[in-house]
Structure 1
Amino acid sequence: MDVVSDAISTVRAGRPSSDRVRVGGRWCARLDPYDGAGFHVVLRGSCWLLPDGGEPVALGAGDAVLLPHGTGHVIADAPADAERVARAVPFDRWADGSLPRPPRTESGEREVEMVCGKYRLDRSHVHPLLAELPPLVHLPDRAGGRPELRAAITLLGGELDERHPGACAALPSLLDLLLVYMIRSWLAESTAGVWPAVLGDPVTAAALRALHSDPAAPWTVDRLAAEAGVSRPTLARRFTALVGRPPMAYLTWWRLTLAATLLRDTGDPLAAVARHVGYATPYALSHAFRREFGTTPGRYRNAAVTPG
């Protein structure tokens, strides 16, 4: 596994949901803050996104936008004043058909078609890579740019259009792929933030790949430095400066984060969880887990509820 895949897999809970929206004329819909991540992909036409506390963002055909922290927002046909925003139709009631959608224009003028959805996330142990994502990631369509993201958007639009056999299996997978590509695009293009620099540094990136590939291995700084092809002092200095904690401290945190995910998502006995994340005994895991999360593994498992 790599850092991005692991960061997503540890927080993802349940299945993503999505709605295809076709609308024209004057319209304005409200999405309340959400304990997860929201996204919109514009397939045709244009619209505006007005995030709570942020500046309006114009969206055109082919654009994708990710709201990784579930920021509340309004989507509308045009920039809206405070009065119009206050009258926005709740999107969930609009999408499920309990409220009539605005009429489509006969000519199709100003008509917009988009995919809107949500990812359920467990924020109790978010990887710092995801934690530092900005409130809104806007990925405008660009000729020749982001070919993987463009391909995922095309496939997603086609799957929603045709409803081929197997669509129920394909659609969640495409939505997961879309999330990976949106985060990957941000990492590749961000000029700020710690984690784009972390993953862009060959030494630190190599060390992280090794730790994430086999977190239960008996790692030492010397062994990790050999994997990265540098001296122990060089690894310790670069890793700590970029990641914000020493390599072995990061490994401890990551092992306990994996343990929390296994406790949440599986019925594996504590001894099996301990072995999987590199602890010799359940007692050793319990001691470290309580120090990190302030509760025992058993109590954590009993309190964990994965949304359906």
Structure 2
Amino acid sequence: MDVVSDAISAANLGRPSFHRLRVSESLRQDPYEGANFYVVLKGNCRLLPDGGAPLPLGVGDAVLMPHGTGHAIADSPTDRAEVLCAKYRLDCRRKHPLMTELPEVVHLPSRVGSHLELRAAMDLVAGELDRLRPGSCVALPHLLDLLLIYMIRSWMTKATSGAWPGALRDPVTAAALRALHSEPAAPWSNDRLAAEVGVSRPTLARRFAALVGRPPMTYLTWWRVILAAGMLRDTEETLATIAGRVGYSSPYALSHAFQREFGTTPGRYRAQAAGRLQLS
């Protein structure tokens, strides 16, 4: 797994919900524990985010709201719009800092020659919505996953601020992150990671901490606990098995790190996660 894929997968709870909306008036979406996105299929409309300026939207525009900000979608004074609306539930306690760093509203306007992958995915989604065909019920959720990935990727290529776009563009830090995410259970040390990346230990430590915001081994410890939380939520594996899979020598060692990060034991976390899923 690469860092962006892991960042999206870490907090995602199941498949997206989606519908096609004909905007004929102002429609309200209250704050939401997840992410919303919109693609304008026809006409023009306006996004009215809570506490933000109105954002005019036209055909082909895409908007990602990664933090579930409350908002409204309003019709344009000149015509009505058709909009694809999609929502993802997220476990906000397991958000990767890359996702946390995204702005409240990511606007990706339709421009000739820009965001080509995103445009292709939008065309595929529009085609599936226009005429439901065999397999559409499976195809549409996967296409929406693609749209989410392409929106985040498009933001990263254009971002002029924020640590994570810079971290993934820096060859040393990006290589170190790839190594840690590819083999999180490996017996990493600062020396071994520096050798893997091909730089000195001080160089790795300086560049990684400056761009990621924490030293390499501190980041690895955090990421192992996040992975363990996902396994506790999504599998029935024992704590001992999960500990081995994320690089801990014993269930006790994992429990200690887990409680330090989440403020609860792995067992209580698993029970709480099961309860939230039953209520969803």
- TM-score, normalisation: structure 2: 0.96
2:263 pairs with 1:294: yes
| Structure 1 residue ranges without an equivalent (≥5) | 80-108
1:50–1:10 Cα change, 3 Å: same
Which deviations, in whole Å up to 9, do the C-alpha atoms of 1:61-81 show, x marking residues without a partner? 1000011000111111238xx
The residue aligned with 1:131 is: 100
Identity %: 67
Give the aligned partner of residue 194 of structure 1.
163
* 1:19 paired residue number: 19
Tell me how far apart the structure 2 counterparts of residues 285 and 21 of structure 1 sit (CA, whole Å): 46
Give 1:41's match in structure 2, choosing from 39, 54, 57. 39
Q: How does 1:1-308 map to 2 (within 5 A)?
A: 1-23=1-23, 27-78=25-76, 110-304=79-273, 305-306=276-277, 308=280
Give, in whole Å, the separation in 2 of the partners of 1:176 and 1:118: 11
How many residue pairs end up in the alignment? 277
One-letter amino acid of the structure 1 residue matched with residue 74 of structure 2: A
Encode CA deviations 1:131-166: one digit per residue, 9 max, x unaligned.
Answer: 111100000011011111001101111111111111
Q: Which amino acid aligns with 1:58?
A: P
CA distance in 1, matches of 2:121, 2:256: 44
Q: Structure 2, unaligned stretches of length 5 or more?
A: none
Distance (Å, rounded) in 2 between the aligned partners of 1:302 and 1:22: 40
For residue 179 of structure 1, report the CA deviation from its aligned partner: 0.7
AA aligned to 2:224 is R
Matched residue of 1:288: which SS? helix
Q: Give the Cα separation in 2 of the matches to 1:111 and 1:48.
A: 10
Partner SS, residue 83 of structure 2: strand
Which gives a bigger RCO, structure 1 or 2 (Cα 8 Å, sep 6+)?
1
Aligned to 1:99: none
**Inter-partner Cα distance in structure 2 for 1:284 and 1:77:** 55
C-alpha distance in 2, partners of 1:202/1:110? Answer: 48
Q: Deviations over 1:236-259 (max 9, x none)?
A: 110011111100000000000100
Question: Matches of 1:250 and 1:269 in 2, distance apart?
Answer: 24
| Cα separation, 2, equivalents of 1:50 and 1:284 | 47
Contact 2:40 2:83 in 1 (8 A): yes
Structure 1 CA distance, aligned partners of 2:89 and 2:130? 24
